[in-house]
Structure 1
Amino acid sequence: MEQQWNRRAFMVAAAGAAGAAAGAAHAQGAGGGAVRALGGGSITDVAGLRVGHYTDTRRPTGCTVIIAEGGATGGVDVRGAAPGTRETDLLNPVNMVEKVHAVVLTGGSAFGLDAASGVMRYLEEKKIGFDVGVAFVPIVPSAVLFDLGVGDASVRPDAAAGYQACKSATPDAPQEGNVGAGAGATVGKLYGPKRAMKGGIGSASLTVAGVTVGAIVAVNAVGDVIDPATGRILAGARTADGKSLLDTRAAILAGDLPRSMREGAATTIGVVATDARLTKAQAQKIAAMAHDGLARTINPIHTMLDGDTIFALGTGASGKPANVMLLGVMAAEAMAIAVQRAILAARTVEGYPAAVDFIA
């Protein structure tokens, strides 16, 4: 049940992401395993979006904001049993508000939801929001992950952090790894923090038939992260001596369960977006299909310990109508690539080795 892991290089291809996803090349690692060349691009390849990170210097934590100043049709799908969210009910297709203006992904557990207040203040200053006659009310759905166990738990993203993330937002490709909502993310946590590894944040995009789909995800999972093309574990729970990867799924099936489990101590959160025109019902379906990307790359996923949440946004910038079959397939693929990029971009913090430099 052990998988040996040595230092190895990885390559992020800058070629067209659709082609890379369809037939990724493989590089031979020092440990004899294949490492896929992952597609390029990011969620900001979707016209109408900007992304900004705030990374706290006091401990590994932070927040990430995805801004759609022109408004975007929104949807959400929550699969984990321990979510921490804000403004998700209004995304239900039967409810009134059609457009959202930003999405916040943040560390800090439920405390981190305060970051959305700073995002609202930033947007209100720019008169961006739902016009209620006497004010513009920014619509900012948000989701949190649990990173309080990494460093000082009293340090968590707040309204000032959310505001600063907005100020840093650009249409350029966002940084990946130990930044923003991925700063304190860890993975492979079922057997406790001493056997876990570093997670992070990653992004990717695909363009097919003139339509672009992008994804961004903060990977903070109970389970292991896997390359779905090879089945190789990239990062996850380690054996008791810390020297090898355990394979959490196989250990569970063999009856090796931890003595105690802390609910809500994980959660992978992300956004998929497209420049196609969406209805709220279509956005909700695409968010649901994007969870398939998590299921391909994280095992186990959607557990009682996770609060896995994916938002979907449609900017409509391409003017093209939605083909939900195509967009859902693209969303799942972009999400799967983004998960792997998050792990390959992550770097070691105290107590949590990263995939790229974990020595067997």
Structure 2
Amino acid sequence: MLNTTAPTPLHPGAITQVAGIEVGHFTDVRRPTGCSVVIARAGAVAGVDVRGAAPGTRETDLLAPENLVSEVHAIMLAGGSAWGLDAASGAVRWLEEQGVGLDVGVARLPLVPAAVLFDLPVGDARIRPDAAAGYAACAAASSQAPAQGSVGAGAGAAVGKMFGMQHAMKGGIGSASVRVAGVTVGALIACNAVGDVVDPATGLPLAGARSADGRGLRDTRLALLAGEPPHPLLAGSNTTIGVIATDARLTKVQAKRLAMSGHDGLARSINPVHTMSDGDTLFALATGRAAQHPGMMVLATMAAEAVARATVNAVLAARAVQLADGSALPAHADLHGLG
């Protein structure tokens, strides 16, 4: 039977409530796949933390605290596995046209780190985000609350693949924010996890591996602990990627710590997380627009909360998609009879 409990409401806020942040999506409906960009035109102090064992990234070494450049101008999140990294090149071109970038004397050089997720099983794998897609995402960017669910980097995302794609559900992209003492922390998360997305308050799955009849949730954690063997997984065929942003003023070391703290939010909302088959990667951006600073203890708590809420929103807002073999990836809403 369908789940008859009331559907979980979306968490409020968005990463664009952080002053100086814009978000744009490009969705290629042919497959579907896409990319999402987080822009800080004036530059933002940045950090990154990679916890998954199979990441696909660009320019992450630049963000190491011991390295020279502190600020970047955008972060690109994309589907398409390693091919999707090409979307960052389109963002670089668009930002250069806008006069945004690091002044290197002879030009302004936009710095755009990126991370990708593996969504190739959804539709024709020959269709993936490219430089034109990244350019289009930038052209669509604004400070308005971004669309959530099956758009941008979350267009082809799926979750709950531990026991095979035939039991999986639709993932997506979500955003949320929290505000404390005049400072805002927001997150944008594209969730393509091998594990389930769970309600942090209860630990119960919201979307993930489905039961044999496809009409309920199996609860991957309990199934694994009961001895049910996982389906053979291709390394790197999953991944949750995202961006945390704050208007607090941070050093590069503090930005790194904020990215690290954000993974606590993934651990609350995805189970299992940071696996050998995931490339979980979180970036952090600090625009420095707020006059206040509540301290790193509070900011870290806010970052974990924003990430957890955004991850939940990613699956709550997702919509079902048809696969190439004629089967479907249902969404959270479908299990409640709302799809």
Q: TM-score range by the shorter chain?
A: over 0.9
In 1, distance between residues paired with 2:336 and 2:305?
29
Could you tell me whether the CA contact under 8 Å between 1:55 and 1:183 is conserved in 2? Answer: yes
Q: What is the identity, as a one-letter code, of the residue corresponding to 2:330?
A: P
What is the match of residue 238 of structure 1? 210
Matched, 1:213 2:190: no
TM-score normalised to structure 2 length: 0.95
| Cα contact 1:74–1:314 (8 A) shared by 2 | yes
Q: 1:35: Cα distance to partner? A: 5.0
- State which of 60, 63, 80 in structure 1 corresponds to 2:52: 80
| Aligned positions of 1:15-54 closer than 5 A | 31=4, 33=5, 35-54=7-26
Deviations 1:197-228 (A, max 9, x none): 00011100111000000011001000001111
2: CA distance, partners of 1:199 / 1:5: 19
Match of 1:341 in 2: 313
| Residue number among 131, 135, 140 corresponding to 2:107 in the alignment | 135
How many residues in Structure 1 have an aligned counterpart in Structure 2?
Answer: 332
| CA–CA separation in structure 1 for the residues paired with 2:37 and 2:107 | 22
CA distance in structure 2 between the aligned counterparts of 1:260 and 1:331, rounded to whole angstroms: 33
My pick for the range that moved more, 246-255 or 287-296, is: 246-255
Contact 2:7 2:333 in 1 (8 A): no
| Residue of structure 1 equivalent to 2:173 | 201
- Map Cα deviations across residues 299-343 of structure 1 (whole Å, 9 max, x no partner): 000000000000000000113346111111001001111111111
> 1:108-141 CA distances to partner (integer Å, 9 max, x unpaired)?
0000000000000001112211111112111101
Is the 1:5–1:245 contact (alpha carbons within 8 Å) kept by the matching residues of 2?
A: no
Q: Does residue 260 in structure 1 map to residue 232 in structure 2?
A: yes
- Within 2, Cα distance between the matches of 1:105 and 1:5? 33
Separation of aligned partners in 1, 2:169 and 2:59: 31
Decide whether aligned partners of structure 1 residues 359 and 98 sit closer, same or farther in structure 2, where only a CA change above 3 A counts. closer
CA contact (8 A) 1:278 1:322 kept: no
Identity %: 64
SS in 2 for 1:268: strand
Residue of structure 2 in register with 1:117 after alignment: 89
* Aligned ranges 1:1-360 → 2 under 5 Å: 5-6=2-3, 31=4, 33=5, 35-321=7-293, 323-350=295-322, 351-358=328-335
Aligned-pair CA distance for 1:187? 0.2
SS of the aligned residue for 1:296 comes to helix
Contact 1:110–1:144, Cα closer than 8 Å, also in 2: yes
Q: Is the 8 A contact 1:120 1:138 kept in 2?
A: yes
Residues of 1 paired with 2:309 and 2:180: CA distance? Answer: 16
Aligned counterparts of 2:47 and 2:12: Cα–Cα separation in 1 = 25
DSSP 3-state at the match of 2:190: strand
**AA in 1 matched with 2:261:** M
| CA displacement at 1:38 relative to structure 2 | 4.3
Report how far residue 358 of structure 1 moved: 2.1
Deviates more, 1:235-244 or 1:323-332: 235-244
Report the secondary structure of 1:83's partner residue.
coil
- Root-mean-square deviation (CA, aligned residues, Å) is 1.3
Instruction: Say if 1:34 and 1:230, in contact at 8 Å, map to a contact too.
Output: no
Tell whether the 8 Å contact from 1:61 to 1:183 is kept in structure 2 after alignment.
yes
**Which runs of 5 or more residues in structure 2 are unaligned?**
323-327
Q: Give yes or no for contact 1:190–1:223 (8 Å, CA) kept in 2.
A: yes
Relative to the length of structure 1, the TM-score reads 0.90
Preserved CA contact (<8 Å) 2:51 2:279: yes
Q: 1:59 to 1:36 in 2, by over 3 A?
A: closer
Query: SS where residue 242 of structure 2 aligns?
Result: strand
* Structure 1 Cα separation of the partners of residues 66 and 293 of structure 2: 21
Deviations 1:73-93 (A, max 9, x none): 000000000000000001000
CA–CA separation in structure 2 for the residues paired with 1:169 and 1:77: 25
Which ranges of structure 1 fall in alignment gaps of 5 or more residues?
Answer: 7-30
Task: Supply the AA of the counterpart residue of 1:189.
Answer: K
Pair 259,36 (structure 1): closer, same or farther in 2 beyond 3 Å: closer
Secondary structure at the aligned position of 1:177 is classed as coil
Q: Distance in 1 between matches of 2:155 and 2:252?
A: 31
